[in-house]
Each structure stands twice: as structure tokens, then as C-alpha cells.
Amino acid sequence: MQSLAQEIQGFSKGRLKKQITHVTTVTGKKLLERRRDGGGEGEVETVEELEEGSGCGFVEDKSLDLQVGVVRPFLLLGSQDAAHDIDTLRRYKVSHVLNVAYGVSNLLPDQMVYKTLQILDLPEMEITSYLQECGSFIDQAREQDGVVLVHCNAGVSRSASIVIGYLMSREGLSFEDAYSQVKLARPSTHPNPGFYRQLQNYKP
């Protein structure tokens, strides 16, 4: 019977099974890699790129978010997808658009009244400093018997915070009541932690 030392001495790299590894890159590309025959330790080569759909990995969601939250008959909340969809704008009779996204253009500047404020969705941004200006624009739409769509990129944090602040300042609602009403109208509503705290402490 061979000793362990003899087995180790008699071991050759050629007796190893070829190692094949499934790799998913940060961009979602799926590769098969194996150790190169006769190569040094750690050397690998790409055998093939896998077809889309084979193996596991994340799937990019490219579907449009056209869900519009009707907070009040004159006040709507949505994403940039809704703001860029003509059918959606017509269905909800939108006349005014409050764009608080960063780097998002306005679709119909000759047909609707737009106000654009490029706000970053960062907790340290002072979202409450924009509430008065945004509130005046929403009031303007209401006075003109219009319908205003407030949107950012996803319609989740910045625009939702603006709408929550509007209800607090114009209707005297508490943060909790305003938040719950906006959340009911658009369930994806989720202000970032900084905006959330600012609105909790907001005194119109």
C-alpha cells in the first residue's frame, strides 16, 4: 500500500479533471471558462460565450412604467415613461408637466406647459427647498382647470416627495397622511431616506 508521501510524489497535473467554470460578467454576458491544457497555474481560456437565456443571471427590465397615480383629479404622479407616452398623456388629459428628473427632456414643449427642475435623487439634496416653487406651478395648473403630471425618472422618490410636500403645504396633511395617500395612488412611491426625513420634519 502506497504511503501518502508516495501518492503525492507520483501525482501529475495531467490526472486532474478539466475544470469548466460558468462566469457571468458585470454586464450580464455569460461565459464558459476552463483551465488551459498544460498551462501554468491560474491560466484560463474562454471556451465559448453562452447564448442568451442559458444558465442563470439577471434579466434587464425594459418594460415601460406607464402606471399613473391619480393623487387628486388635477394632480398626477408618474415616471418619465408616462411623461413620454402620448397616449398616456392624452388619456389623463395632462395639460401641465412638472419635470423634476435629471437629464430628461420634455416631449411636447409646444403643446403643454412645462416646468423643469433638475433634481438629483440623493439623500443630501434639500428636496424641501423646491416645494414652494413646485407648489406654485401645481397651483397654476389647478387654477387653469388643468391636470399636472409630476414626474422624475422612476416616479418613486423625487416626484413622489414633491407631491407629498404639496399635500402637506396646501391641505395641511401630516406627513403620514400625505405619504399614505400618495402611496395608495402610486404603490411604488419610496422617497430616499434623506427626503423621507426632511418631509417628516417639514413645517409648511
- State residue 125's pLDDT score: 96
Helix (H) or strand (E) holding 148: strand 148-151
Is-above-0.75 flag for pTM? no
* SS3 at position 30: strand
**Distance (Å, whole) CA 65 – CA 81:** 6
Give all domains of the chain, ordered by start, each with its CATH number: 11-60 (no CATH), 69-200 (3.90.190.10)
- State residue 63's pLDDT score: 78
Q: Which of 152, 156, 167, 199 is catalytic?
A: 152
* SS3 at position 181: helix
- State residue 197's pLDDT score: 98
- Residue 64 half-sphere exposure, CB side, CA atoms within 13 Å? 11
Query: Is 134 one of the annotated active-site residues of the chain?
Result: no
The pLDDT profile of the chain, 204 residues, written as one tens digit per residue, is 556 666 656 665 555 555 556 555 544 556 665 555 544 444 545 455 554 444 444 444 467 899 999 999 999 999 999 999 999 999 999 999 999 999 999 999 999 999 999 999 999 999 999 999 999 999 999 999 999 999 999 999 999 999 999 999 999 999 999 999 999 999 999 999 999 999 999 999
> What letters, b where the CB count within 10 A reaches 16 and e where it falls short, cover 66-93?
ebbbebbebbbbbbbbbbbbeebbeeee
